[in-house]
Amino acid sequence: MNTSTIAATPSNPAVAAAASGWRGLVADWSSDRQAFHVSWGKAMMWIFLLSDTFIFSCFLTGYMTVRVSTTVPWPNPSEVFALHVAGADIPLLLIAIMTFVLISSSGTMAMAVNFAYRRDRVNAATLMLVTGTLGELFVGMQAFEWSKLILEEGVRPWGNPMGAAQFGSTFFMITGFHGLHVSAGVVFLFTVAFKLMRGDYDRAGNYQIVEIAGLYWHFVDLVWVFIFALFYLW
């Protein structure tokens, strides 16, 4: 028996280990099991968030390009988004409240994930409901902001009386797309909280869905930080 035959026999430890490793990898992928010690649910959420990052990046990059290239004066955000209170116009008051509400919801979501890891489904579900309620409040304030701009200020996607016509199109596209994400997240949170309270995940023996919902919600909050900085403060 020559040396090549000896190297190819299963009794060779190196060959056997390599074959076992590849077979294990193929088995993990083909049978829908963990391949990299990360659940499929969490991995798919990360892939979805990565794709959403590209979309929001394109939107914000397009907005900045339009703003710096237009020859028509851009409306002053401090004046456009001012709120009339007690006879005075307070710049960005509503936007500051919206930001505070959404950032606070990240804290309640983080606490919900913490309680989920402790398998305390009552507190985890309660905090998820609080998070969803804060998200509803944010969307309600955004609807008020839109109605004020459309009905009182005359802002439209194709123009506005305060300056560059691109202001309306970029504003409604970016904030509307983000508001759609928040609304979808609220439905997601309420659904998971209801199933959590009902004990569905006790039977499955896995509370990781709460962490997956938390990943989505923290992403939505992070995107709003960029929108707030680039659209309302710039």
pLDDT tens, 9-44?
A: 445 555 555 556 777 767 666 665 555 577 788 889
Q: What is the CA radius of gyration of the chain?
A: 25
- Lowest-pLDDT choice from 34-38, 50-54, 177-181, 227-231: 34-38
The set of residues, in sequence order, having a beta carbon less than 8 Å from that of 48 and lying 6+ positions away, is 216
Distance (Å, whole) CA 110 – CA 103? 11
pLDDT, one tens digit per residue, over 132-170 is: 999 999 999 999 999 999 988 888 888 888 888 899 999
Distance (Å, whole) CA 131 – CA 102? 9
Of residues 99 and 41, more confidence is placed in 99
- Answer yes or no: are the C-beta atoms of 153 and 162 closer than 8 Å: yes
Q: Where are the alpha helices (DSSP H) in 118-207?
A: 121-147, 166-198, 200-204
Distance (Å, whole) CA 123 – CA 129? 10
